[in-house]
Amino acid sequence: MEDLINLTGFEIAQDIKKGQFNQEQVYTFFKDRIKRLDPSLKSFVELYQEPVCSEGSSALKGLPIAVKDNICIKGKKITCASKILSSHTAVYDASSVNLLKKAGLNIIGTTNMDEFAFGSSTENSCYGPTKNPWDTTRVVGGSSGGSAAAVAARLVPFALGSDTGGSIRQPASLCGVVGFKPTYGLVSRYGLVAFGSSLDQIGPITTNFIDCANLLNVICRPDNKDSTSADLEVPDFTKSLQNNVAGLKIGLPKEYFAEGLNPEIKEAVDAAISIFKKKKVKFIEISLPATEYAVATYYIIASSEASSNLQRFDGIKYGLRTPASSLRSLYAKSRQNGFGDEVKRRVFLGTYSLSSGYYEAYYLKALKVRRLIKKDFDKAFTEVDVILTPTSPTAAFRIGEKTQEPLSMYLSDIYTISANLAGLCAVSFPCGFTRDNLPVGVQLIGKEFDEAALIRLGFSYQNCTDFHKKIPPLAMKS
């Protein structure tokens, strides 16, 4: 069975159907890999001895899947990698978890993340950082870093993550896997612990586009438990697994190829562009002028929403409680003890920009700029079908390198956050390696609900390249 790590999830599921092995054997195979290899990575928060599952069916039936620790699984611990929730058990299933069960998938455990999904490195976790399987002295990206590392090391065929400003795509890029953020509203947020409610989306992290399309088929469904869920007929995404991309028009925004982009990243992204050119894709230089305001806009909006969403963690309703002589000081002490530094920083930022006197100057202004960012994309998409950019300005950085510099950490998301602000779909997939053998990702951004175009382009790219088949040496150890 050692060979399983070289197969796609879809292929393993087919082998199960053919009776080559059964799902218990597959579960045990991956569980053993996690037990053996994860102590050096720490990508998992909890590993389930027995799968969480129910009777169900789909093209992926019988496969194990890992879930980020901010998505509710009934009866299981959900901590968001925060001390404040360390003793909390979910009392219901997230809609996406429900759909995994209905598809016959076996949930194998929960993965590490930045506390409440605030971060770009998975270092802001009460469990400590997850290590990059390509170089364990380096970060995995964040905040869905546990999911990305687990998939990269083939500890699971795939996993779910969540993306508020890049948290699926940036760790996918730093770990060499495919991370897809669907259009806002396509996957239900019910049961996802809210960070920035107008930005959050759940999405798949896989090694390849075949699994990505199949997993999107499982989790994309209208849901009346989420008022922002899009009420539309969801297409069969596997129909977009086509090799024909001739004639598609891709925009290259000049603002995304400016200073700050590491030359080795640029080289790998340029090589991906050349491959698409050979496939007769047309490239057009475009401009997204409001890009320079994206990071500031995002951090005002995301922190404002986060400060409001996190009010519920008050020491009364959930988790950690620090006894005190008055109610007010119980709130204060519980939050002081339960939240890490980055969470406190976001709550300060958000509360400040929402407070009377500053609301107009910061929050309201940010909402207006968000509109401008969206308008830039609307205009660009009258000319092009898809936009191509780097995913992250650098490859995986060293653990500890940016923890003292929040601003430089925030810049890790410079290429990913605009898709969230504009509600668009976007994906990162591996397109090369640096000279230090660290993976590099390229990002495609699509129109609202045009996941199909991204899948088509990604699939046809993977058809003629094999970056996505490379496995970190650490994961090959037997």
Pick from 234, 173, 197: which is nearest to 444 by CA?
173
Judged by beta carbon, residue 163 or residue 314, the one nearer ligand GLN is 163
Q: Give min distance, CB of 118 to ligand GLN, in A.
A: 5
Pick from 170, 226, 67: which is nearest to 395 by CA?
170
Cβ-based burial of 55 (10 A; exposed 0-12, middle 13-18, buried ≥19): exposed
Judged by beta carbon, residue 118 or residue 397, the one nearer ligand GLN is 118
Residue whose tokens read 């928060």: 45
Q: Which stretch binds ligand GLN (CB under 6 A): 162-170, 267-275, 278-286, 322-330?
A: 162-170
Distance between CA 142 and CA 162 in Å, rounded?
10
Q: Give min distance, CB of 239 to ligand GLN, in A.
A: 29
Q: Give min distance, CB of 395 to ligand GLN, in A.
A: 16
Asked whether position 305 contacts ligand GLN by CB under 6 A, the answer is no
Site for ligand GLN in 387-416 (CB under 6 A): 413
Site track for ligand GLN across 121-160, x = CB under 6 A: ----------------------x-----------------
Contact between 389 and 415 (Cβ < 8 Å)? yes
Asked whether position 210 contacts ligand GLN by CB under 6 A, the answer is no
Tokens of 345: 């920083």
Asked whether position 118 contacts ligand GLN by CB under 6 A, the answer is yes
One-letter amino acid for residue 455 of the chain:
I
Site track for ligand GLN across 248-287, x = CB under 6 A: ----------------------------------------
Q: Which stretch binds ligand GLN (CB under 6 A): 112-120, 206-214, 423-431, 432-440?
A: 112-120
Q: Which stretch binds ligand GLN (CB under 6 A): 90-98, 163-171, 278-286, 380-388?
A: 163-171
Q: Which of 10, 180, 195, 363 binds ligand GLN (CB under 6 A)?
A: 195
Residue whose tokens read 């469904």: 221
Number of residues lying near ligand GLN (CB under 6 A): 13
Assess whether the previous peptide bond of 143 is cis (omega < 30° from 0).
Answer: yes
Burial letters 321-351, b for 16+ CB under 10 A, else e? beeeeeeeebbebbbeebbbebbeebbebbb
Q: Give min distance, CB of 143 to ligand GLN, in A.
A: 4
Residue nearest to ligand GLN (CB): 167
Q: Give min distance, CB of 195 to ligand GLN, in A.
A: 6
Asked whether position 164 contacts ligand GLN by CB under 6 A, the answer is yes
Judged by beta carbon, residue 117 or residue 220, the one nearer ligand GLN is 117
Judged by beta carbon, residue 81 or residue 150, the one nearer ligand GLN is 81
Judged by beta carbon, residue 53 or residue 414, the one nearer ligand GLN is 414
Q: Which of 69, 93, 163, 451 binds ligand GLN (CB under 6 A)?
A: 163
Distance between CA 397 and CA 390 in Å, rounded?
16
Q: Which stretch binds ligand GLN (CB under 6 A): 116-124, 206-214, 224-232, 455-463?
A: 116-124
Pick from 105, 78, 75: which is nearest to 92 by CA?
75
**Residue 428, strand partner residues:** 179, 443
* Residues annotated catalytic, as ranges: 68, 143, 167
Q: Which of 58, 167, 334, 428 binds ligand GLN (CB under 6 A)?
A: 167
Chain contacts with ligand GLN (rule: CB under 6 A): 117-120, 143, 163-167, 195, 302, 413
